[in-house]
Structure 1
Amino acid sequence: MSANYEGVLLGMGNPLLDISSVVDEAFLNKYDVKLNNAILAEDKHKPMYDELASNYNVEYIAGGATQNSIRVAQWMLQIPGATSYMGCIGKDKFGEEMKKKSTAGGVNVHYYEVDEPTGTCAVCVVGGERSLIANLSAANCYKSEHLKRPENWALVEKAKFIYIAGFFLTVSVDSILLVAEHAVAKNKVFAMNLSAPFICEFFRDAQEKTLPYCDYVFGNETEAKIFSKVRGWETESIEEIALKISALPKASGTHKRVTVITQGADPTVVAEDGKVTTFPVILLPKEKLIDTNGAGDSFVGGFLSQLVKEKSIADCVKAGHYAANVVIQRSGCTFPEKPDFE
């Protein structure tokens, strides 16, 4: 049974080591950081990493949006080697840490290793809500040459489902297009994530190039509203935006496009075939919420774990809600040894 799941799901993205800590409002203000946002570090943010490491009780967790989703899907599947992942890390202790963490989870990782520091992401948590400031470093150095090497392209050939977070649009659009075109040519399923308001706003051109290939588009309500605003759609209705995204032009007619928008504690919206369905999430009492870091990534990981088994959309969403619910009750994108998802 497990043989046909070998390498079924491939992810490509920015592997980042999360430097996670509970901070206070003053810390956020000092670095001009807003909660529930995800941004790339500017010069003004650079001192933040040392300050976190020296003055706060930090945890180091293997992160990066796509890698989180792949690790969660792998955990949900419990079939070693069902998932694989590519991205760029540095030849340093953070890179070693990353290899240990991802391999321990059963993911088949093929990192491109360069002489730059491994990328990090400051995860600032206040009242359970998170803000992400990514310093890509090595993650920014991924090149399609690595992807084209026979041992790496073999992962693409083997995969039936491919997932890439929108964050990778800032790094290697040509790598994304190579994989997306392969997916269309071979009738595979290709999925992406809106990932962050800044991606929808400032990387719109790159996003436009890849959207036609997307069979599944994931995102949250904030990203969806920015996506709509940038396109002059003049609507903030998540259901309407999800429908419009599903109806955007598609490179192949083999699969219809399904758009899945999460809204925190509010119901998840799914649009396909001109129809919208909403799915309530598992409610969590506020005192059980530890931190929302990785909530969206875990949702996608849970969703994909059932999609590769060709389960119904309802089952995929249910698994997404389950995984996100587990992860937000823990620090960072971490989970117990085994899922108890039925």
Structure 2
Amino acid sequence: MASEGILLGMGNPLLDISAVVDQDFLNKYDLQLNNAILAEDKHLPMYEELASNPNVEYIAGGATQNSIRVAQWMLQVPSATSYMGSIGKDKYGEEMKKNSRLAGVNVHYYEDESAPTGTCGVCVVGGERSLIANLAAANCYKVEHLKRPENWALVEKAKYFYIAGFFLTVSPESIQLVAEHAAANNKVFSMNLSAPFICEFFKDVQEKALPYMDYVFGNETEARTFSKVHGWETDDVEQIALKISEWPKVGARKRITVITQGADPVVVAEDGKVKKFPVILLPKEKLVDTNGAGDAFVGGFLSQLVQEKPIEDCVKAGCYAANVIIQRSGCTYPEKPDFN
């Protein structure tokens, strides 16, 4: 059984504001379906308009928070997971707190006085969606918050840590503190490559954290970008996973690299060897939304890892969680998992 507080995540919390809209709405804000963009000034009034929509749904989002919520759901142990990140002092921040606590996650948010809670507008037309992210307060996390006794206590209590690469753009100092604590106390520290732009434009801070990573997660696009940035001259995902796993390492553990490839097998590189695991294939008509699939995979994986299950079980749980999520709108799930 997983104990209380065994897994701690840190990242950029975003409140997904999801509603069914019409083509006129998209035209008004110059939006395209099947697209994800960062909000510009012209998009800002859209969030209030979405919020006033009678069918609006609020879902606590952001990559790390999605993974932590999914791990919590898979574990079904109250407060097995904790999470830190920055929100604003506003109604969306309150919505995020309520949402996360209902999910059973022990959240300790830093509340920024000046910036609004980060949001992601999810505009749905005919089952397709357009995503507009406004980081806002998520960008304002301070390492001082992590150092507060009540928050550092979560670090002390946790045995496993997970941070998406996106947090490298916000507080690399916080990541380093947690990474060094994990190494010094023989705990498990894991991160995600998260996006090609992280591998390209935040290469230095990513490289500084990499020696501490016991598990590195990513998808095939991120892996290939990582390879290109480091001059490895290979597009072979298995080779790249191996090379990442062999990157110099701090601490006693050997690094394990886990790369997902959509409908193709999951690649796991460990101890100089590569294993491949098939995913659960889904008929096209059952696919609702791939948004959050990678986050859900990590959440499922971590739910078994913290129970010290073998890697095969971790991957199976990851594939199960991703399969559930892509059949639903947003990173949401039924009340109870039926994974065994």
TM-score by length of 1: 0.91
Deviations 1:238-296 (A, max 9, x none): 111111111111122x1111111111111111111111111110011111111011110
Conservation of the 8 A alpha-carbon contact between 2:293 and 2:325: yes
Distance 1:259 1:196 in 2: 16
AA in 1 matched with 2:61:
G
Q: Does 1:238 align with 2:262?
A: no
Count of residue correspondences: 338
Q: Give the aligned partner of residue 282 of structure 2.
A: 284
Separation of aligned partners in 2, 1:327 and 1:31: 28
Assess, with a 3 A threshold, how the Cα gap between structure 1 residues 23 and 269 changes in structure 2: closer, same or farther.
farther
Q: Aligned equivalents of 1:247 and 1:43: distance in 2?
A: 44
Alpha-carbon separation, structure 2, partners of 1:173 and 1:314: 31
CA distance in 2, matches of 1:129, 1:88: 29
What secondary structure sits across from 2:116 in the alignment?
A: coil
Change over 3 Å in CA distance of 1:131–1:297 after alignment to 2: farther
Residue 279 and residue 70 in structure 1: after superposition, are their counterparts in 2 closer, same or farther (change >3 A)?
Answer: same
Alignment of 1:98-109 (within 5 A): 98-109=96-107
Partner residue of 1:19?
17
Which residue identity is paired with 1:311? K
In structure 2, the CA distance between the partners of 1:97 and 1:47, relative to structure 1 (3 Å rule), is: closer
Structure 1: 5+ residue stretches without partners: none
Provide the rounded CA distance (Å) in 2 between the counterparts of 1:127 and 1:313: 39
Percent of aligned pairs sharing the same letter: 79
Q: Which residue number in structure 2 is paired with residue 65 of structure 1?
A: 63
Which range moves more in the overlay, 53-62 or 163-172?
53-62
Rate the CA distance shift 1:201–1:331 in 2: closer, same or farther, 3 A: same
Question: Matched residues in 1 for 2:216 and 2:175: separation?
Answer: 14
SS of the counterpart of 1:235? coil
Structure 1 residue 48, shift from structure 2 partner: 5.8
In structure 1, what is the equivalent of residue 215 of structure 2? 216
Displacement of 1:128 in angstroms is: 6.8
**Match of 1:189, as an amino acid?**
V
Contact 1:31 1:48 in 2 (8 A): no
Taking the aligned partners of 1:124 and 1:271, their CA distance within structure 2 comes to: 38
Change (3 A) 1:340 1:293: same
Equivalent pair of 2:33/2:128 in contact (CA under 8 Å): no
Cα-Cα RMSD:
2.5
Asked whether the equivalents of residues 220 and 261 of structure 1 are also in contact (C-alpha less than 8 Å), the reply is yes
The partner residue of 1:90 within 88, 91, 107 is: 88
Indicate whether 1:111 and 2:109 are aligned: yes
Query: What are the equivalent positions in structure 2 for 1:161-180 lying under 5 Å apart?
Result: 161-180=160-179
Rounded to whole Å, the distance in 1 between the matches of 2:313 and 2:285 is 28
How many angstroms apart in 1 are the aligned matches of 2:64 and 2:200?
A: 20
Match status 1:316 vs 2:319: no
Structure 2 counterpart of 1:264, one-letter code: G
Alpha-carbon contact 2:19-2:53 (below 8 Å) kept: no
TM-score relative to the length of structure 2:
0.91
